[in-house]
Amino acid sequence: MADTILILGNGFDLAMGRKTSYKDFLEFADKLFVERDDQLDEFLKKHQIDIKKYKNNLYIQYINENKSTLGENWSNLEIMISQLAEAIDFFRLNSDKLYHKSGDLYPKYVDQFHKMMNEERNSTSKIFIGTIFLKFYNDYGRDKPEKELAISDFNNLFIHHLDLLTELLEIYLSYRDYIDFEVSPIIPSKTVLDAIDEISEASVISFNYTHTPNKLYKIHLEKIHFIHGEIDLKRRKHNINTMVFGIEDKGTEINSDLIPYQKFYQRVVKETGNTYERFFDQEFDKSKGIPKIFKNIIIFGHSVDPLDKEIFANCFKLIDNKYYQSRFIFTYFNETAKRSIIRNLAIILGKDKLVELTGRREVVFVQSQDVDGMRELLLK
């Protein structure tokens, strides 16, 4: 008998036909104050949501003002958050780039400021931060303590706008649940997941905020661990928004000004926990009262980005010295995606370990639409 663990990324929701990409969210945010339809108005009224405080969000403003220069990255909000947080930190460490020797702010001298910033990495974000700071600075004096206080308060302003952005994302994804599961119910798309018997009994490690596995595959929410938190507008399970939405910690040094932006900090504050670890315990066949001797760990819709190295490395560690046979089955959309997953696994596991695991068929790969191929790979 086999037990199943699903590890799901946003590619899972997209494969199910759901509009859950960052680009979808940004389009929603742009239209929220100009093109609301009756369904959205009904949803907002039902949940007593006042949208005024979400208007003029600084992160969305940055993206909308710089789409032409941000290239493909403009729809990846986490990159945008990282760029803005690092730009604020840059000026904290290099105040001479912000304050002109005359006592004025450099951004007042537009051409000179742009020329100076264009010599820096991620100049677009630094120009934006400098320009916004110019509007923000009027209430502060000119001596050093007041200047430092101004930058600190400015940083707090962006942290507040990140909280508002996270709230708005929760509203959007909850609205998508309302549309996809109440107004016009969707059904599961055909994927390799169709090869899994009794998928409703699977355990899920979800990197998503949505309840798609529960809604489409009847997997109990108690068996789903939301690594980055979950949508819960009615606060039935939590008193706060538990969604982790920010940037990864890039080093071992703690930067107190950047901590509130970072996912590790948000995971601790929002107590997302490590419940998923119990999924790797040996399960029992309830009908026969005997232990299950196989465990299939299926990764679907996730690029296995090294930014999530901590979670994936722990999953491999958790199967060590267990009394069952396990297999990690990585699904991929196309050959380019497969090569990217393999490259990322080499970074996470090390090339020797990856070669060892693939050689023993403990790590295998299957195209996400190849149902027959999945059936052949599943341990039974």
Q: Over the Cα atoms of the chain, what is R_g?
A: 24
* Strand 2-8, strand 294-300: pairing: parallel
Q: For position 358, what pLDDT does the model report?
A: 97
Q: For position 322, what pLDDT does the model report?
A: 78
Please tell me the pTM assigned to this model: 0.89
Q: For position 234, what pLDDT does the model report?
A: 84
**Residue 368: what are its φ and ψ, rounded to 5°?**
-65, -10
Q: For position 285, what pLDDT does the model report?
A: 64
Burial of 305-342, coded b for 16+ CB within 10 Å and e otherwise, reads bbebeebbeebbebbeeeebebbbbbbbbeeebbebbb
Which tokens go with 249? 């910690």
Angle between helical axes of 123-136 and 144-178 (0-180°, round to 10):
110
Domain 2-18+189-227+272-377 has CATH 3.30.70: no
Q: Tell me which residue has tokens 């206080």.
A: 149
Question: H or E stretch including 253?
Answer: none
With H, G, I as helix, E, B as strand and everything else as coil, classify residue 125.
helix
User: Domain residues of the chain, as ranges?
Assistant: 2-18+189-227+272-377, 22-165
pLDDT along the chain (380 residues), means of 10: 92 96 91 89 93 94 84 72 92 85 76 90 92 78 65 92 95 96 96 96 96 97 95 85 82 70 84 90 67 89 90 92 90 96 96 96 97 96
CA distance readout (Å), 54 to 29, 40, 61, 127, 329: 9, 15, 11, 23, 41
**Residue 286: what are its φ and ψ, rounded to 5°?**
-65, -35
* Strand 284-285, strand 224-226: pairing: unpaired
Q: For position 188, what pLDDT does the model report?
A: 96
Nearest to 202 by CA among 215, 219, 216: 219
CA dihedral 216, 218, 223, 225 (to 10 degrees): 20
